[in-house]
Amino acid sequence: MIGIGAIGCYVPELRIANRERMQEFEVTEEFLAGKLGFQAVARKAESEQTSDLCVKAVAALKAEPAVAAAPHGLGAIQCLFLCTQNPDGRGLPHTSAIVHEKLGLPAACACLDISLGCSGFVHSLVVARAFMEANGMTSGLLLTADPYSKILDHHDRNTAMIFGDGAAATWLTEIRDGALLAPTRARFHTEGHRHKALQNRDGVLHMDGRAVFNFSATAVPVEINGLLAEAGLGKDAIDLYLLHQGSRYIVDTIRTRLKLDEARVPLALADCGNTVSSSIPMMLQGLVRDAGAKRIVLSGFGVGLAVATCLLERKTSNGKKQ
Amino acid sequence: MTTTESVIGIIKDISPQTKVDASNTGHELFDLGLDSLDHASVLLQIEETFGIKIPDEDSERLITVDAIVRFIGEQDK
């Protein structure tokens, strides 16, 4: 069985403080802290490519205690999934192949780009696990890196204070000793007729905030409740709900609609912004290390418009729950 | 409960600090303390409560309690 061995993250050092743009965007400090939830957004250097962000996230992954302590580190990587909609160049070749070269990975390694936005980590995690198990693989990488700064209108009030750059590298490995978090059940939901609500139009990101908000506030609670019902679990059986950090407001709205207490629906990334498909693995990083959380629900939502929701459970090598 | 009272209740539930009441139903909600995110929440709650759909082209003018109540009334016809 494949589980999450460790997660490494990379956030560029450069920050743009939203507080310094309050006048330009006509927002108050209360709005920034209480509604947006992002004090600053991270920005990659102009010269940094998406593949560079991935390589730096993998370097962070290699420094994670679980990897550093493993006898062969990450071992021979047999597959590399890269979730992005802002690839190197124009996306041909696929950026995962460029990362493959930069990391010096073996030839016996499948490299695939997955085109998804904020639901990308959850979708890709489920795909990667199934792909690995179907092909008898024991070590793979799932990378998320979607630097929206490439396509932002930096004077657009709807997006400029929200999206930050960053990347995450998730090591997927066969569960041997101990127990790892593994995706055990998932639900997917797509409303393709709403795809124009969030799109790259002639090289610039456009977001219909109301449409994205309405979709997220209505579809995500239904998906999470559906997942719990299918799993035969009550809300209290889940230690944590990690929601994509679209903004503080949307996370709070979904939490309120699900009638969950704040402690089980953490807020994060105030210092770097909404990092698209990397927001969930960035929150998950510490939880993978700490064996405290046994069951976690992940829900990513956005571009598509789409939602992907999955249940992570801590499993041992024989598939038993810990 | 009248439609006006329901709408005021929805707004106060979502944004308690908004100073809206029966005496200022013609005032712009943004002047009374509602922000754009709460406005989106209010319209969603109105849609769900009254079983109606508020198109984008209408949402921008639904910025007073009176306008919202009038819009809801028009959907019944």
Interface pTM (ipTM) of the complex? Answer: 0.83
Residues A207 and A266 placed together within one structural domain of the fold: yes
pLDDT surpasses 80 at A2: yes
**Searching chain B, which residue's CA lies closest to the CA of residue A28?**
B35
Classify burial at A232, counting beta carbons within 10 Å of its beta carbon; exposed 0-12, middle 13-18, buried 19 or more. Answer: exposed
Residues A203 and A137 placed together within one structural domain of the fold: no
Residues A204 and A291 placed together within one structural domain of the fold: yes
B44 and A214 in contact by Cβ < 8 A? Answer: yes
Residues A184 and A74 placed together within one structural domain of the fold: no
Which member of B21, B31, B35, B66 is catalytic?
B35
Q: Please write the tens of the pLDDT for every residue from A115-139.
A: 999 999 999 999 999 999 999 999 9
Of A35, A209, A217, the CB nearest to B44: A217
Residues A111 and A249 placed together within one structural domain of the fold: no
Yes or no: say if A128 and A79 are a contact pair by the CB < 8 Å rule: yes
When pLDDT is averaged across residues A56-69 and rounded to a whole number, the result is 93
Q: Is the four-CA dihedral A188, A193, A197, A200 of positive or negative sign? A: positive
Residues A79 and A205 placed together within one structural domain of the fold: no
User: Which chain A residues contact residue B37 at CB under 8 A?
Assistant: 35, 213, 247, 249
Q: Please write the tens of the pLDDT for every residue from A13-22.
A: 999 999 999 8
Q: Is the Cβ of B44 closer than 8 Å to some Cβ of chain A?
A: yes
For chain B, which residues make up each domain, given as ranges? 3-76
Domain around A112: 2-177
Give alpha helix (H) positions in chain A. 22-25, 29-31, 50-62, 65-69, 95-103, 120-134, 209-231, 248-258, 279-289
Length of chain A: 322
Q: Is the Cβ of B68 closer than 8 Å to some Cβ of chain A?
A: no
Residues A136 and A8 placed together within one structural domain of the fold: yes
Per the domain annotation, does A266 fall within a domain?
A: yes
B3-76 falls under which CATH superfamily? ACP-like (1.10.1200.10)
Residues A139 and A265 placed together within one structural domain of the fold: no
Is B38 in the active site? no
CB neighbourhood size of A63 (10 A)? 10
| Shortest Cα distance, chain B CAs vs residue A108, angstroms | 49
Output DSSP code: residue A93. S
| Shortest Cα distance, chain B CAs vs residue A210, angstroms | 6
Task: Count structural domains, chain A.
Answer: 2
Q: Please write the tens of the pLDDT for every residue from B14-28.
A: 999 999 888 998 999
Residues A132 and A240 placed together within one structural domain of the fold: no
Q: Is the Cβ of B45 closer than 8 Å to some Cβ of chain A?
A: no
Mean pLDDT, rounded, of chain A: 93
Final residue before a domain boundary, out of A149, A177, A205: A177
User: Which chain A residues contact residue B63 at CB under 8 A?
Assistant: none
CB neighbourhood size of A101 (10 A)? 11
